[in-house]
Amino acid sequence: MTLAFDWPFFVLLFAIGIMSAFAGFLRVAPRMDLPVWSLIPAVQVILTLIALPLLWSPIVVLTYGFFTLPWYTVLICAVADFVAGMIFIFFILSPITRMLGVSVVTTFLLSCVTATIAVLRYFGVF
C-alpha cells in the first residue's frame, strides 16, 4: 500500500473548510462586527439559511471522498486540510480582513464564491 495525496480533493476540502469556518464565524460574530444591512431580520434569515447547510459541507465532502477514493488518501488529505486551513485562517486571512476592515459577512460570501469555483473545477465543469 503506497500513500497517496490527491491534490484536487485537497483543494476541494480546503475551500469547503474555509467556507464552513466562516459560516461558523458568522453565526457567533458579535453584532457590532456585522455590517448594518446584515442586522435586518430578513437578511439574517437568508444568511442563516445559507450558512447552516454550509457548516455541514465538510462532512459531506469527506463522506464523498470515502466512497470514491482510498480511505488512506482521504485521511491524508483531511489532516493536511486541517493543518493548512488553520494556518491560512488564523495567520493569513484573519489578519488581512482585520487590517482591511472587511466584515465577516463579506469574507463569508467571498469564501462561498471560492468554494463554488473549487467544486466546479473538481468535477470538471471548467
What's the sign of the alpha-carbon dihedral 58, 63, 65, 66? positive
pTM exceeds 0.85, yes or no: no
Nearest to 102 by CA among 47, 27, 34, 18: 34
* Residue 26 parent element (H or E): helix 7-28
Chain position carrying cell 444568511: 47
Note the pLDDT of residue 43.
Answer: 84
Phi, psi angles (nearest 5°) of residue 105: -65, -45
| Amino acid at residue number 91 | F
Residue pLDDT tens, the chain, 126 long: 556 888 889 888 988 888 888 888 777 777 766 778 877 888 888 888 888 888 889 999 999 999 999 999 999 999 999 999 888 888 887 787 778 777 777 777 778 788 888 888 888 776
